Amino acid sequence: MPLYEFECVKCRNNVDTTLKTLEKKSDKKTLSELVNKYENINAIEVVDLVKNKIVAKAGKTSKDAVFMDFYINEGNTLVLVNLRNYRFSELIYSPEDEKTVKCSCGEKKRVEKVISSFSFTSDLSTDMPKPDLSNLPPSVRAQTSLGEYIEEKDRPKKNR
């Protein structure tokens, strides 16, 4: 069956803008404003990986959402975003079907078919290696949801 992946440009831009904003300013007020402004973003948490501490967090995570992790400030800052996934799959039987593809935010026009087979995290992050999150002190880990969103392929081998 022809199953295609699509990305909502509107929702994706919200995340891009959020990350750019956080590179300049990442206090609680800014996070709250971003969570309120962007409908597809439920919660944001910013972790300083050098100092191993949470800089700020805002919003409420949602069950029907996913976690995405991004690295800003040359990889020194981790941004956890709880959001409704802007990438989704649709069954397409005819070119007409593509016109009816709709993101859960309601956007129809700015929805792109995804060609590359890269995972969505590699599209937005740079090529730098991911920090080993298992090195975070327990106090930080306990306050984050790190254990839940690490993809299976990224987990340390002993957990497999």
- Residue 4 or 49 with smaller CB distance to Zn ion: 4
**Site for Zn ion contains 83 (CB under 5 A):** no
Residue 33 CA to residue 30 CA, distance in Å, equals 5
Please say whether the beta carbons of 85 and 94 come within 8 A: no
- Comparing C-alpha atoms, which of 122, 124, 141, 151 is closest to residue 45? 141
Q: Which stretch binds Zn ion (CB under 5 A): 4-12, 13-21, 89-97, 124-132?
A: 4-12
Return the range that interacts with Zn ion (CB under 5 A); candidates 3-11, 54-62, 117-125, 129-137. 3-11
Does position 111 interact with Zn ion (CB under 5 A)? The reply is no
Interface with Zn ion by CB under 5 A: which range of 11-19, 87-95, 115-123, 143-151?
A: 11-19
Question: 84 to 103, contacts with Zn ion by CB under 5 A?
Answer: 103
Partners of 54 in the beta sheet?
Answer: 47
Would you count residue 58 as binding Zn ion (CB under 5 A)? no
**56 or 103: CB nearest Zn ion:** 103
Contact between 105 and Zn ion per CB under 5 A: yes
Look at the block and give the residue holding tokens 């029907």. 64
Give the shortest CB-140-to-Zn ion separation in angstroms.
32
Q: Rule CB under 5 A: is residue 15 a binding residue for Zn ion?
A: no
3-state SS record for 8-50: EHHHHHHHHHHHHHHHHCCCHHHHHHHHHHCCCEEEEEEEECC
**Of 41 and 140, which CB lies nearer to Zn ion in the complex structure?**
41
Its sign, for the CA torsion 118, 124, 129, 131, is negative
